[in-house]
């Protein structure tokens, strides 16, 4: 608060608090988002961190003489009077009658794209991505990443409340966690090392320490194919929990996390949800179907001829999403008991039917967003399974310390943050929900 010429100015007020300053003089900082000159007055739209604020310039109440230098994307402090009025829905809206505008900084050039319309119109995705530091200034574009913040925040908050410990596993690894060809190799002072594909082996190790752990961090996959669903660097949200009774404990924990996330978005990210017309799912209970039952359902009910009896193709996932919606009014469905051959070496086989595993995928509106399951915790069983998979247990000495020196029954899952953001917002390309995507053709900006 300061006093100038006898007038009290409430400095650096936030727009969301305007209701507390009705008819009072405030100052607020932000970008000049848009200037619309009308007859006898102008609208000056100020862009702040999360909102746009309508300010009105008119000679009768503005001390200020319009500065020639003022332009869009200038950073300013606007001083003026807060004025409330009711819109046609009876909701009170506030605007600012401009008394003065102080220029804090000026752009050197005009923007290369129009960002101050409702959305970026007719701009190719590759241009949007090339110009990310600028294209994200569009309120709808940046709202995508507030939603993304909310998803990760909800995941974390829920798990912290449930006694999980946040871990930070190393991204420079001495061995490719799950093997395979799609690892990035790195020269590390003459040694060949790898970028982490997943925190899998570390998070399992740490179940022996903290019982329940989670991590939200980048992972790296040297995917050679360029699809709309895959990235070469993405954010993996992982958790692993010990002392489970069975693998449904993991599914229940995920259900709880998703409910918490969706509720957080509806409350603390309501403006962004509205701006993006995001359809936030209602979650009560998530239905479950066994992998083989799902295959049969696809063949009988949907007359689908599967090309692979060990996994689902995207069309099958979409049909299962449809099934979940029509039968259970659910946007989600768990598919359990995937074939052993398709799951990694640490997955626990179903003791009642070892061809299948105590594992699951979660489909959200017909797209797989999670893989998870119970892990082998017995040392001898894990070594045996590794050998069966053609692996050398000696290369996994650190990992196997967990099992050798005592592991509780445990399991966990992984969830791709960008993919979930994409699908929640109805995008077809994961790059739209990634600030700075990396793929086989793109490594900048």
CA angle centred on 403, ends 399 and 407, rounded to 5°: 120
- Using CB under 8 A as the binding rule, whether residue 98 contacts a copy of itself is answered as no
* Spatial contact of 426 and 226, defined as CB atoms under 8 Å apart: no
Return the exposure string of 353-388: e unless at least 16 CB atoms fall within 10 Å of the residue's CB, then b: eeebbbbbbbbbbbbbbbbbbbbbbebeebbebbee
Helix (H, G, I), strand (E, B) or coil at 319: helix
Least separation in angstroms between residue 322's CB and a copy of itself is: 32
Candidate ranges 67-75, 256-264, 287-295, 347-355; the one touching a copy of itself (CB under 8 A): 67-75
Residue nearer to a copy of itself on the CB measure, 81 or 171: 171
Over its C-alpha atoms, the chain yields an Rg (Å, rounded) of 27
Residues 383-422 that bind a copy of itself (CB under 8 A): 398, 401-409, 417
Give the relative orientation of helices 248-268 and 139-161 as an angle to the nearest 10 degrees: 140
Residue 217 CB, nearest approach to a copy of itself (Å): 7
| Residue 176 to residue 375: CA distance in whole angstroms | 19
Given 154, 208, 344, 414, the residue binding a copy of itself (CB under 8 A): 208
CB of 339 to a copy of itself, least distance (A): 26
Q: Which of 51, 149, 315, 350 binds a copy of itself (CB under 8 A)?
A: 149
Q: How many residues bind a copy of itself (CB under 8 A)?
A: 92
Looking at 172, 270, 299, 387, which residue binds a copy of itself (CB under 8 A)?
Answer: 172
Query: Could you say whether residue 209 binds a copy of itself (CB under 8 A)?
Result: yes
What residues contact residue 206 under an 8 Å CB cut-off, 6+ apart?
165, 167, 169, 213, 240
Q: How far is the CB of 133 from a copy of itself (least distance, A)?
A: 4
Closest contact distance (angstroms) between CB of 421 and a copy of itself is 11
Site residues for a copy of itself, 266-285, by CB under 8 A, read: none
Per-residue binder mask for a copy of itself (CB under 8 A), 37-66, x = binder? -----------xxx----------------
Using CA atoms, how far apart are residues 323 and 339, in angstroms rounded to an integer? 21
Q: What residues between 226 and 255 interact with a copy of itself by CB under 8 A?
A: 232-233, 235, 242-243
In 116-210, alpha helices (H): 125-130, 132-135, 139-161, 200-210
- Find the binding residues for a copy of itself in span 121-140 (CB under 8 A): 131-134, 136-137
Q: Which is nearer to a copy of itself, 15 or 312 (CB)?
A: 15
180 binds a copy of itself (CB under 8 A): no
Side-chain half-sphere exposure of 132, counting CA atoms within 13 A: 15
The closest alpha carbon to 374, from 396, 397, 347, belongs to: 347
* Residue 7, SS3 per DSSP: strand
Shortest approach of a copy of itself to residue 51 CB, angstroms? 11
């Amino acid at each position: 608060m300061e006093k100038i010429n006898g007038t009290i100015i409430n400095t650096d007020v936030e727009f969301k608090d305007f209701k507390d300053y009705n008819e009072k003089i405030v100052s607020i900082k932000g970008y000049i988002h848009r200037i619309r000159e009308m007859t006898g007055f102008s609208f000056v739209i100020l862009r702040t961190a999360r909102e746009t604020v309508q300010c009105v310039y008119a000679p009768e109440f503005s001390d200020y003489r319009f500065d020639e230098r003022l332009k869009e994307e200038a950073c300013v402090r606007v001083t003026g009077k807060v004025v409330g009025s009711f819109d046609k829905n009876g909701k009170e809206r506030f605007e600012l009658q401009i008394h003065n505008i102080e220029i804090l900084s000026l752009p050197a050039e005009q923007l290369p794209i129009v960002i101050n319309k409702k959305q970026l119109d007719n701009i190719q995705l590759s241009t949007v991505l090339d110009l990310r530091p600028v294209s994200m200034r569009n309120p709808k574009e940046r709202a995508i990443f507030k939603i993304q913040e909310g998803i990760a925040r909800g995941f974390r908050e829920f798990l912290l409340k449930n006694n999980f410990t946040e871990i930070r596993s190393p991204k420079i690894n001495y061995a490719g966690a799950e093997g395979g060809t799609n690892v990035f190799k790195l020269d590390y002072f003459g040694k060949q090392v790898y970028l982490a594909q997943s925190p899998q082996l570390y998070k399992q190790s740490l179940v022996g320490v903290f019982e329940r752990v989670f991590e939200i961090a980048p992972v790296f996959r040297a995917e050679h194919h360029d699809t709309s669903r895959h990235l070469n660097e993405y954010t993996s949200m992982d958790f692993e929990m010990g002392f489970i009774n069975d693998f449904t404990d993991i599914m229940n924990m995920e259900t709880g996390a998703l409910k918490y996330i969706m509720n957080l978005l509806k409350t603390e990210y309501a403006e962004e949800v509205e701006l993006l017309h995001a359809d936030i799912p209602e979650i009560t209970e998530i239905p479950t179907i066994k992998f083989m039952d799902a295959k049969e359902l696809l063949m009988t009910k949907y007359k689908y001829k599967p090309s692979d009896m060990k996994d689902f193709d995207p069309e099958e996932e979409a049909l299962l999403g449809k099934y979940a919606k029509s039968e259970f009014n659910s946007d989600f469905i768990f598919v359990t008991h995937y074939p052993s051959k398709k799951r990694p070496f640490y997955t626990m086989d179903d003791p009642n039917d070892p061809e299948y595993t105590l594992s699951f995928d979660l489909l959200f509106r017909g797209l797989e967003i999670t893989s998870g399951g119970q892990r082998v915790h017995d040392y001898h069983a894990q070594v045996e399974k590794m050998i069966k998979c053609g692996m050398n247990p000696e290369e996994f000495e650190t990992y196997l310390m967990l099992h050798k020196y005592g592991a509780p029954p445990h399991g966990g899952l992984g969830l791709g943050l960008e993919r979930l953001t994409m699908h929640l917002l109805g995008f077809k390309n994961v790059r739209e929900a990634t600030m700075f995507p990396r793929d086989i053709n793109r490594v900048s900006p």
